Amino acid sequence: MKTGRSLTELAQEIQRQAQSKADFIANTRQLQMLDDGKTLALESQGEFPVTDLALSQIGERVGIPTKYLRKMQDEAPKLLATNVNHWFSERSETRMVRTLDGAARAFLSNRYMRVDNYDVAETALPVLLATAGLRIASCEVTENRLYIKAVTDRVQREVKSRRVGDVVEAGVMISNSEVGLGSVLVTPFAHFLLCTNGMVREGGKRWNHIGRYADEKDEVYALLTDETRQADDRALLLKVRDTIKASLDEGLFTRWVDRLEATTGRKLEGDVTKAIEVLSNKLSLTHDEQSSVLKHLIEGGDLSQYGLINAVTRTAEDAPSYDRATELEMAGAIVLDLKPTEWRDLALAA
């Protein structure tokens, strides 16, 4: 798996971001896209460069297709500003604008509940570090998400496969998005010691960022951390703590490994290249990712469903971003959970 930052580096970056972020509530009539198509002005608060994600969220909210949005930004930025500002005025609503390092990074509902990376890390890390035998295997904070992946050698089992010493150990992944791209997620995780692959297991719990509506006022105002929000956060984060512990349950892990082991006997009997093409369509792999899965499958010499799971999760290490690497680790679970008819389509591809 990708290793990302050290735990110290992660803590430092989360702390830095916590001090550099600001959130505002504003009616869209108090917002203006400037003629450069790249800057959002907030009445009485200043001007903020807009990230690609925030621009996409603005486009989605005002009904401008992403492809056309990008074309206007590149070729006709004034037209983009005219379009956005027209709909800001005609269909006015109260929104939350999240900023970091002076840039507008998200354009969200005024009901969005802010559970920030600092809050999640502050709750999760003490639990993880206090659990005997648990170690942080990988962690990262990207533009879009926080990830913490921890594993333990106290809950492990050898998979009876064609590979000698194929041991997998239990773990847990915690992730969060501050920009509207995902819930707070705590889910079981697995670490394959022989190939160092990581795989996100099923059975996790999600908590959506949905809370009370922020007050609608006549002026743009900054959101602060109040006692009500702190109480909401505590209730949510206590659930996160309990789910971390449940994710390491030895009985659940053993049953999961039984399912994993069953895939070692299901073989690819048709054209392997065609099978990877079918899988690529199902997993929405890029051309390079498809080639990487095929390469790792052949190099592994295991043309079974289990070998395919390992080829997909091994491809995660080749991914250019930590976000995409984690998506591919999740894709391993999709391959494990293929229905009999879906597996037959793969196995007999011609």
Task: Give per-residue pLDDT as tens, 289-348.
Answer: 999 999 999 999 999 999 999 999 999 999 999 999 999 999 999 999 999 999 999 999
pLDDT for res 132: 85
In a shared domain, residues 54 and 145: no
In a shared domain, residues 95 and 158: no
Q: What is the pLDDT of residues 11-44, one digit of tens each?
A: 999 999 999 999 999 999 999 999 999 999 999 9
- How many domains does the chain fold into? 3
Locate 22 and state its tokens: 């600001």
Domain holding 186, by residue range, is 117-211+224-252
Do the domain assignments include residue 102? Answer: yes
Do the domain assignments include residue 124? Answer: yes
Whole-number Å distance between alpha carbons of 101 and 109: 21
H or E, element range at 58: helix 52-62
Whole-number Å distance between alpha carbons of 288 and 309: 17
For 170-218, the DSSP string reads EEEEEEE-SSSS--EEEEEEEEETTT--EEEPS--EEE--B-PPPPP-S
pLDDT band, very low/low/confident/very high, at 264 (cuts 50, 70, 90): very high
In a shared domain, residues 243 and 137: yes
Do the domain assignments include residue 6? Answer: no
Average pLDDT for residues 165-170, to the nearest whole number?
92
In a shared domain, residues 138 and 186: yes
Do the domain assignments include residue 1? Answer: no
pLDDT for res 165: 84
In a shared domain, residues 122 and 248: yes
pLDDT band, very low/low/confident/very high, at 194 (cuts 50, 70, 90): confident
| pTM for the predicted model, two decimal places | 0.91
| 229, pLDDT greater than 70 | no
Do the domain assignments include residue 10? Answer: no
